[in-house]
Amino acid sequence: MVARTIVSALGEARRSRRWLSDTTGIAYSTLRRKLHGDVDLSVTDLARIAAALDVSPAALLPRIDSTGEVAGPER
List the CATH number of the domain containing 49. 1.10.260.40
Q: Which tens digit of pLDDT belongs to each residue from 15-74?
A: 999 999 999 999 999 999 999 999 999 999 999 999 999 999 999 988 877 787 777 544
DSSP 3-state of 62: strand
Give the per-residue pLDDT at 63.
Answer: 80
The whole-number pLDDT of residue 10 equals 96
Q: Which candidate, 42, 36, 1, 2, places its Cα nearest to that of 17?
A: 36
First to last CA, the chain: 15
On whether the pTM is more than 0.85, the answer is: no
Q: How far is residue 13's CA from residue 26's CA, in Å, rounded to a whole number? A: 18
Find the domain containing 25 and state its range: 2-73
Count: domains in the chain = 1
pLDDT of residue 72: 54
